Amino acid sequence: MGDSTEIAAQKREVRRDLLAVRAAMADDEVAQAARQLAGHALELPELAGARTVAAYVSVGHEPGTAELLATLRARGVRVLLPVLLADDDLDWAEYEGAGRLVEAEHAGRIRLLQPGGRRLGRDAVTEADVVLLPGLAVDGRGVRMGRGGGSYDRVLARITAAGARPALVVLVYGHELVDAVPWERHDRPVQAAVTPEGAHRFTPLD
């Protein structure tokens, strides 16, 4: 680790490069990767036994989650999706199908979809058996790099404060499994990543 200013600059540079690679992906490549990723994710033992899963609706060229969400719901799993708040924190609501998703009010230029039903509160995520996380990269220690907005840092801090111990799984592309990402003490490692090529597990940080 370096000082926080240095680490923040490193993260910005890495994010820029990773987002450029995603932007260059063809739409059919993204769609095929989403199907493959869903298949591998649904084979995870953690998801097979989960009653409640916190997930998210993918946007743009993120690894696609639509098929994964639909299959989990069809299995009878209670799926919680984030509702973006004005302060970039996340409330939660149940996924009731793709037709019940609405555009987020506070997403700026991004067309972000979220549930239109009753909000359950910021702490609802602590009820999840598995939390599926977006990310731009993850390293061999399970250190995840997000987009930098801090929304999921707050979610993970809330989970820790509540004493909850869900399985934390990040969804990324295969080339986003990297040797190391810049990290800070507040970064909470994940236990696994799922890519279109398969699942990967990590040794926890000390």
Q: Is 96 annotated as a binding-site member?
A: no
On whether 169 is known to bind a ligand per the annotation, the reply is no
58 is in an annotated binding site: no
15 is in an annotated binding site: yes
Give the mean model confidence (pLDDT) for residues 190-203.
Answer: 94
Binding site annotation covers 4? no
Cβ atoms within 10 A of the Cβ of 121, count? 10
pTM of the predicted protein model? 0.92
The pLDDT of 122-147, averaged and rounded, is 94
Domains of the chain and CATH, by start: 4-201 (3.40.50.10420)
CA distance 29 to 25: 6
Tell whether 100 is in a known binding site.
no
The token duo for 173 is 């592309």
Strand pairing report for 137-139 and 177-178? parallel
8 vs 27: which has the higher pLDDT: 27
The confidence score (pLDDT) of residue 105 equals 81
- The pLDDT-based confidence of 108 (bands split at 50, 70, 90) is low
Residue 90 belongs to what H/E stretch?
strand 90-94
Which pLDDT tens digit goes with each residue over 76-94? Answer: 999 999 999 999 999 999 9
Q: For the segment 1-22, what is each residue's pLDDT rounded down to a tens digit?
A: 456 778 778 888 888 999 999 9
Q: Is the pLDDT of residue 96 over 70?
A: yes
Instruction: Give the pLDDT score at 10.
Output: 82
pLDDT at 8: 77
Q: What is the DSSP letter of 56?
A: -
All residues at 6 or more sequence positions from 203 whose CB lies less than 8 Å from its CB, including other chains = 140, 141, 142
Q: pLDDT-based confidence at 170, cuts 50/70/90?
A: very high
C-beta separation of 79 from 120 below 8 A: no
170 assigned to a ligand binding site: no
141 is an annotated ligand-binding site residue? no
Residue type, 44: L
> Does residue 146 surpass a pLDDT of 90?
no
